[in-house]
Amino acid sequence: MSESAAQTESASELRCIGCGQTALPDRFRCEHCRDLLEIIYPPWEDRGPGGLSSVALKRLWRDRRSSLDPADQSGVWRFREILPEIARPQIITIREGNTPVYELPHCAKSAGVDQLYAKHQGMNPTGSFKDTGMTVAASFARQAGYKWVACASTGNTSASMAAYAARGGLHSLVLIPDGKISWSKLSQSLDYGAITCQLKTDFDGCVRVLNEVVQRMPVYLLNSVNPYRVEGQKTSAFELLEQFGWEPPDHIIVPGGNLANSSAIGKALREMKQLGLISRLPKISVIQAEGANPLVRTIRETGGEQLIAVHADTMATAIRIGNPASWKKALRVIRESGGTVEQVSEIEIAAAKAEIGAEGIGCEPASAVTLAGLKKLVTQGFVKPNESVVLVLTGHVLKDSEYTLKFHRGDLFTDSQFQKDADVLKPQQRAPITLEPSVEAVIELLQSAEK
């Protein structure tokens, strides 16, 4: 087959998840029914992308690991056969992806499972999983001729977008909820040169404002309703399965906010099955904070029929989202894979985060809902002790050091409704110790610590 024939065959298009109508490449919602769009590829069951078999694809992706080409060095573009086509010179990459899988032996023991792993997406260039999606969507924006990109964010999307825009010569506009994102995330978007606006509202309010702005101005929206972001985020699951020798784990547990990441991971697994890369789907479960639990309520109270939006509040600010855009996509993934949803309390999140930290790995609070949720799923018997489990850790521990410091100093829950329950956290707290600059004082401390 000629190269151009292969390209035509692998050409992707945008399709509505509701009514199935196709849409123009730079749209976000269906013009007929307003549902979200997703990128689809020609059927892969008979013939893989570019005519490549599953064996050939696995070999090609592995071989690219030793290449010096920037696109091959990216953990996203290494998998470009399953991505929408972007002309090479338009690709903006900061060598995203390529994130490690770690064993978590202590967390496994406390959760009551034999095999527990973390896919640590906080090890991306800007410290969160957002980079894997942003490289694709920002590259598309540049290819489509946009000069401006924008997002509403709880902090990680904005940090990522600002970085990719800067690398790609685009201007970027960030809308964030005033006072409700971590300082580290805010500082990133400033440093990478975005125009950063703190709106006196929450994340959901920022989304409402931005949706209007992008309709009136030639600005490309990089929120997670953007279907190209979902495609990039998909690659983390391809990479995970490659790291598992293409043998699926029994469970994948994902934090839920706007619900794009769970949607992306589910889409990836569906496609891997179509391509013959894997033979069965892991169960994908989504965990939310009790104070930001629209998906949990939607499933429990309406059987998934209608979204129950909530007024969100949680110290895991990354997932402080009450009206998640991608709830239908996530619901489909949970149903298709046989997964479930669960919610966890602020105290459970704090305890789980400290446990992941004590493994020498760490993560931001939103990521820790996965371990807290796993504990509940084991207690309920949904996850069996002999099943293998992967937690998707979405953000780096340094993304919210204020939370971590407050936790260890013992004042994370001071004057909050959770204060009286916070005593259970004391054994995990390691407050910094102030000492005189004396050798004896340090030795004495060491000796007492050894006892």
Binding residues for ligand F0G, rule: CB under 6 A, are 128, 130, 153-157, 224, 255-261, 318-319, 364, 366-367, 394-395
Pairwise CA distance, residues 209 & 61, whole Å = 41
Full DSSP string of 14-72: EEETTT--EE-TT-SB-TTT--BEEEE-S--SSS-GGG--HHHHHHHHHHGGG---HHH
Please give the helix or strand (H or E) that residue 220 lies within, else none. Answer: strand 219-221
Minimum distance from residue 361 beta carbon to ligand F0G (Å): 15
Minimum distance from residue 163 beta carbon to ligand F0G (Å): 13
Minimum distance from residue 380 beta carbon to ligand F0G (Å): 22
Minimum distance from residue 189 beta carbon to ligand F0G (Å): 11
CB-neighbour burial class of residue 313 (10 A; exposed 0-12, middle 13-18, buried 19+) = middle
Minimum distance from residue 389 beta carbon to ligand F0G (Å): 18
**Best CA proximity match to 343, nearest among 385, 318, 314:** 314
The SS3 assignment for 395 reads strand
For ligand F0G, the closer of residues 134 and 275 by Cβ is 134
Residue 81 · residue 9 · CB < 8 Å: no
Which token pair is 425? 């956290």
For ligand F0G, the closer of residues 135 and 367 by Cβ is 367
Minimum distance from residue 291 beta carbon to ligand F0G (Å): 14
For ligand F0G, the closer of residues 333 and 378 by Cβ is 333
**Best CA proximity match to 235, nearest among 280, 257, 278, 265:** 265
For ligand F0G, the closer of residues 74 and 394 by Cβ is 394
Minimum distance from residue 353 beta carbon to ligand F0G (Å): 12
Pairwise CA distance, residues 113 & 120, whole Å = 19
For ligand F0G, the closer of residues 258 and 388 by Cβ is 258
For ligand F0G, the closer of residues 308 and 319 by Cβ is 319
C-alpha torsion angle, residues 319, 320, 323, 324 (rounded to 10): -10
For ligand F0G, the closer of residues 277 and 284 by Cβ is 284
- Type of residue numbered 276: G
Minimum distance from residue 193 beta carbon to ligand F0G (Å): 18
Q: Nearest-CB residue to ligand F0G?
A: 257
For ligand F0G, the closer of residues 6 and 307 by Cβ is 307
**Best CA proximity match to 225, nearest among 325, 308, 132:** 325
Reading phi first (left if > 0) and then psi (alpha if -120 to 50, else beta), residue 15 is in beta
Residue 28 · residue 37 · CB < 8 Å: yes
101-103 and 37-40: which strand pairing?
Answer: unpaired
For ligand F0G, the closer of residues 398 and 431 by Cβ is 398
Minimum distance from residue 187 beta carbon to ligand F0G (Å): 15
